[in-house]
Structure 1
Amino acid sequence: MTRSPGSFRISFSSPKEWVEGRSPVMENHSLTYRKSVLDNGLRVITVEMPHLHSVEISLYVKAGTRFETEANNGISHFLEHMLFRGTKNMPNSYQLHKRFESLGGDINAVTGVEDTCYWLSLHPRYFARGVALFSELFLSPRFADMDTEKQIILEEILNETNERGEDIDIDNLSSKMLWPDSSLGFPTLGSRENVLRFTEQEVRSFFETHYTASNMVLCIAGKIGHEQALSLASRYFSALPRGQEIQITPQKSCQQAARVLFKKNSGSQANVQVCFRAVSYNSPDYYAILLLQRIMDYGNSSRLQWNIRERQGLVYDISASVSSFHDTGTFDIDFSVAPGKISRVVQEVLRQIKNLTTELVSQEEFSRARRRCILEFDFSLDNVAKMADRFGWNELYRQGESLEAERKKIEQVTREQIFRLCREHFVNSGLNIVVVGQYSKEEEVRVNALAREFSP
């Protein structure tokens, strides 16, 4: 399973005062979350949600395309698949999935740019058994049936290619155009050639480097207690080696002007992505760009939905999203449209972007977006998966903050900050446009001219 680079996380983090060896407590209504650190360095986060009737066990690992080379691109995703191929006590994938599914839930994983996440959903009565089984994936993987798994991933790669074997995944193409000389531009699945070439020794070596306690966070959310969860984590995960913490090498942009890429593919519509370089999740403007995303696309009264879909009827599907990484990010607008309307919709999207650089967002529009953003945070307090993702992933990469501190940051964003953010990032040298589908030469010429002439 892969996560689209167009996705993003709205994050509540762990308390700022957390330090190794302490188990501080933060409470919000019926939600309590704590952190402890095992002797091997594994961080254990619990989110106690006693009003619910489910449990989510998640493990976050510093393993993703960012840590790959051109020669081993795709190995993070391949390794993710291989861990489901059996363990010492569950010798094949059938036995493994049968055991997990008997706990009343589901086990899955996702590979991203900077992390791989594994999660198990289960009934609270099987919590202890679930932790024990979950730990086996990371303590005693067999790496069996590699040839079979390679065939599965080759089929997965076909989902992202056309009949000529060319990559037509719009996120892959966009990432490669944004970061042509960086692992940030690598496709999650890797190439067919790499997948076929992977050996067990190579996969095990990557596993032994990245799947260590210092590069992992275990987060457990739902109807559980911290002391029980910590006891189980200590019992079943203490055997993980500490390992060497993986560091991130910062990337720099060398883009000087707008870029446009057209890729032919069959279909009745063209898929289009209009992308601007933006901010990382460590930026002071991170919360401002989250609010901007809601101003542009959060309900049919938002700017993209109202102006391009509802008012003009140009598209059925259009969306805005934020991708944020350790040192960079993007603001993306995606839509599908009939081939003859590509340039017209691109023009309308760029008009909406330019409006943000010429005048402040109205107070009413700004307040509505901020209110919905804060309410969305509250809604997520009833979702074990979102709580595990927030607290677990944040502990892996971001500086911890209390829930109230993060809420306060949202409330402190101003219209002027959003205006400045748009002026700084919605520029010609940050614009990238990708079109995948059927198109005429005339449409290609018009889109290239729109990109070339764009300026705030």
Structure 2
Amino acid sequence: MTIATHRTTLANGLRVVAVEMPHLHSAEIAVYLRVGGRHDRREKAGLAHFLEHMLFRGTAEHPSNLQLEAAFEAIGGCVNAATDAETTCYYSRVHPDHVAEGVRLLSVMLLSPTFHGIEVEKKIVTEEALEDINEEGAEINPDNLASSLLWPGHSLGMPTIGYLDTIAGFSEADLREQMARYYVPANAVVVAAGRIAAPEIFAAAERAFGPWRGPLPPEQLPVADGQDAPRTVFVKDADSQVDLQIAFRGFPRLDPRMVPARLIRRVLAGGGCSRLHLNLRERLGIVYSVDAQLAAYDETGCFSVDLSTAPENLTVAVEEVLRETGRLAREGVDEEELRRVKEGYFFDLAYSRDSTFEMQVRYGWGELMGLVKGVDEDRTEAAAVDGAMLRATARELFSPRRLNLVAVGPLKGSVRKELEGIIRRYEAAY
């Protein structure tokens, strides 16, 4: 059956999106806010994430997190949330017969938090933050370390969770100021997807969020495109393996090169037939798995390759990853490999039509970020990518001047010099 999408804007500026999927037996609801780690100042790093946590600790209607969770469970739900660099999302699957109540419960969370239990939540978030720090107090999360290389001196380079000192210093006044600045209708999108009817969703949103008021959110600090040479960071840590991330500074969210970049990710690490999987795991046997991630923000982005390997295999792993990125930049892909990668992408797009979660992300997050595209539009854009487009994108993306390398683990004394030599050879051959 056809998926139908509908959109309206309430008088207060809140956008509401309904994705009708009448053939399904569930629904997904969410509220997206355009605020994340990049909106935190250094002295308040982690505040966006901490506020997300605090909204689960109770509301005027549900004084405890247990009562709030029980209210969602009573309608077939399990409320969850996530904060990333640019957005915060509160979401839950609910039974289609109770979508209106689910929307109301989300509004209760966002509009009437009590902020009880701040000190307890600080302990919880501190435990979460400690997972990224070793016994010497050094940062060991490759994502955080790579971000600090990619965007030094900018909030995008800070960990979204914050630092131990900033977490310890959060107050109720900080939380209320954050809400007043960013938790405003013009900065939010409500979305529902599944067996729903758009008029009912719009009416439910009006009842629940209609009284919400607030000014326009503040402007965010842009990122300067300043990288002109490779950067590296090495952290010695007691472990049996080395965690490696090779991150290339990527493209902004609306850059047309993002379309071939998605296919490049699949060429390198998109499954059992991908180049890095075949080389590093099946041919050399030096990794259990290898992944590639693609992130895009308003004015910048990142393409990263992640793997873990024994210390004695680290230089080989780096050589192989850069050999493949360099080969893509020089040679691109042949028609058969490109056809296979596209087909895999098309299958995943087709499968997404059965997921209420993926549809609410596509149309809810997409509405928030100015990137609303249907499945057919994504398919058409990817189908138009040819070998020349993919090679040209790889040539720009994998330039040595965009390269950032992070290695964390039991590093040998000479390994830094060896890896920097590999990078210099990569530069010379590019």
| TM-score normalized with structure 2 length | 0.97
Q: Hey, what's the Cα distance between the residues in 2 that align with 1:119 and 1:247?
A: 26
User: Which stretch of the first structure deviates more once superposed, 401-410 or 265-274?
Assistant: 401-410
Q: Deviations over 1:41-74 (max 9, x none)?
A: 1110111111111111111101111111111111
Q: Deviations over 1:192-244 (max 9, x none)?
A: 11111111111100111101110001110111110111110111011211420
Per the alignment, residue 3 of structure 1 pairs with none
After TM superposition, give the deviation of residue 313 of structure 1 in Å.
Answer: 1.3
Aligned partner of residue 84 in structure 1, secondary structure:
coil
Alignment length (residue pairs): 428
Per the alignment, residue 110 of structure 2 pairs with 138
Of 293, 296, 299 in structure 2, the residue corresponding to residue 321 of structure 1 is 293
User: Which stretch of the first structure deviates more once superposed, 183-192 or 242-251?
Assistant: 242-251
Per the alignment, residue 36 of structure 1 pairs with 8
> What percent of counterpart residues are identical?
36
- Residue pairs, 1:40-439, within 5 angstroms: 40-439=12-411
Q: Hey, what's the Cα distance between the residues in 1 that align with 2:227 and 2:372?
A: 32
Aligned partner of residue 287 in structure 1, secondary structure:
helix
Aligned partner of residue 206 in structure 2, secondary structure:
helix
After TM superposition, give the deviation of residue 403 of structure 1 in Å.
Answer: 4.1
**CA pair 129-151 structure 1, distance change in 2 beyond 3 A:** same
Q: Amino acid of the residue matched to residue 53 of structure 1?
A: H
Q: Hey, what's the Cα distance between the residues in 2 that align with 1:48 and 1:176?
A: 41
Q: CA RMSD in A?
A: 1.3
| Native 8 Å contact 2:180 2:214 kept in 1 | no
| Native 8 Å contact 1:139 1:239 kept in 2 | no
Q: Deviations over 1:257-303 (max 9, x none)?
A: 21111111222111100111111111011111011111111221111
Q: Amino acid of the residue matched to residue 283 of structure 1?
A: D
Q: Amino acid of the residue matched to residue 3 of structure 2?
A: L
Q: Amino acid of the residue matched to residue 72 of structure 2?
A: F
Per the alignment, residue 11 of structure 1 pairs with none
Q: Amino acid of the residue matched to residue 340 of structure 1?
A: E
Q: Hey, what's the Cα distance between the residues in 1 that align with 2:390 and 2:164?
A: 42
| Native 8 Å contact 1:300 1:310 kept in 2 | no
Q: Amino acid of the residue matched to residue 65 of structure 2?
A: S
| Native 8 Å contact 1:264 1:438 kept in 2 | yes
User: Which stretch of the first structure deviates more once superposed, 244-253 or 366-375?
Assistant: 244-253
| Native 8 Å contact 1:215 1:246 kept in 2 | no
Q: Hey, what's the Cα distance between the residues in 2 that align with 1:62 and 1:239?
A: 20
After TM superposition, give the deviation of residue 406 of structure 1 in Å.
Answer: 3.0
| Native 8 Å contact 2:20 2:194 kept in 1 | yes
After TM superposition, give the deviation of residue 443 of structure 1 in Å.
Answer: 2.2
Q: Hey, what's the Cα distance between the residues in 1 that align with 2:62 and 2:78?
A: 16
Q: Deviations over 1:62-88 (max 9, x none)?
A: 111111111111100010001111111
**CA pair 383-400 structure 1, distance change in 2 beyond 3 A:** closer
Aligned partner of residue 105 in structure 1, secondary structure:
coil
Q: Which runs of 4+ in 1 moved over 4 A?
A: none
After TM superposition, give the deviation of residue 157 of structure 1 in Å.
Answer: 0.9
Aligned partner of residue 441 in structure 1, secondary structure:
coil
Aligned partner of residue 109 in structure 1, secondary structure:
strand
Q: Hey, what's the Cα distance between the residues in 2 that align with 1:405 and 1:169?
A: 36
Q: Hey, what's the Cα distance between the residues in 2 that align with 1:247 and 1:410?
A: 33
Q: Amino acid of the residue matched to residue 199 of structure 1?
A: S
Per the alignment, residue 9 of structure 1 pairs with none
Q: Amino acid of the residue matched to residue 58 of structure 2?
A: G
After TM superposition, give the deviation of residue 432 of structure 1 in Å.
Answer: 0.6
Q: Hey, what's the Cα distance between the residues in 1 that align with 2:75 and 2:409?
A: 44
| Native 8 Å contact 2:20 2:196 kept in 1 | yes
Aligned partner of residue 114 in structure 1, secondary structure:
coil
Q: Amino acid of the residue matched to residue 234 of structure 1?
A: E
Aligned partner of residue 414 in structure 2, secondary structure:
helix
Q: Hey, what's the Cα distance between the residues in 2 that align with 1:346 and 1:245?
A: 43
| Native 8 Å contact 1:219 1:392 kept in 2 | yes
Q: Hey, what's the Cα distance between the residues in 2 that align with 1:224 and 1:243?
A: 31
| Native 8 Å contact 1:370 1:410 kept in 2 | yes
| Structure 1: gaps (5+ residues) | 1-28
Q: Hey, what's the Cα distance between the residues in 2 that align with 1:126 and 1:408?
A: 36
After TM superposition, give the deviation of residue 256 of structure 1 in Å.
Answer: 2.6
Q: Hey, what's the Cα distance between the residues in 1 that align with 2:387 and 2:172?
A: 53
Q: Hey, what's the Cα distance between the residues in 1 that align with 2:97 and 2:371?
A: 34
Q: Hey, what's the Cα distance between the residues in 1 that align with 2:159 and 2:167?
A: 12
After TM superposition, give the deviation of residue 30 of structure 1 in Å.
Answer: 3.0
User: Which stretch of the first structure deviates more once superposed, 441-450 or 212-221?
Assistant: 441-450
Q: Hey, what's the Cα distance between the residues in 2 that align with 1:246 and 1:412?
A: 38
Aligned partner of residue 106 in structure 1, secondary structure:
coil
| Native 8 Å contact 1:260 1:451 kept in 2 | no
Per the alignment, residue 16 of structure 1 pairs with none
Q: Hey, what's the Cα distance between the residues in 1 that align with 2:220 and 2:392?
A: 28
